[in-house]
Amino acid sequence: MALNKKGSRRITVDGIEYRWRIRRKPSYMQGLCWTPMTYAVEAAGGSRPGTTLIVTSGQAHPSNWVGVETEPIRPAHVAAGIRAARDQGWDPTRVGSPFQLDRSAGFIAQS
């Protein structure tokens, strides 16, 4: 699965260039703050897409429908997520199913 280039941002981590993207509109569960926001990361170079990294953050989507305040996902958060995923075995050049990284410890769902 390749990321849509429109709306994605570039980041260089340890000399490797990646693209990352947050879904513009929240999913139904994210809109109600029942699940945390996710973002996707993939290697920016190469002729064919590799494995996409899906990071589950520990915060609500900024466009949630219940008015929960959120902090923005900053490039430092994305870089830390990429490093953690690489330490856990994510290889962005290998083809395969998306690699899931859960960083949602401490997320409290709204009721």
Residues 6+ apart with CB under 8 A from 100: 54, 56
- pTM of this structure: 0.89
**Mean pLDDT, range 57-70, rounded to an integer:** 92
pLDDT of residue 2 exceeding 80: no
C-beta of residue 60 within 8 angstroms of C-beta of residue 36: yes
Phi, psi of 41 (to 5 degrees): -135, 145
Q: Specify burial of residue 94 (Cβ count, 10 A radius: 0-12, 13-18, 19+).
A: exposed
CB neighbours of 14 closer than 8 A, spacing ≥ 6?
83
pLDDT value for 16: 92
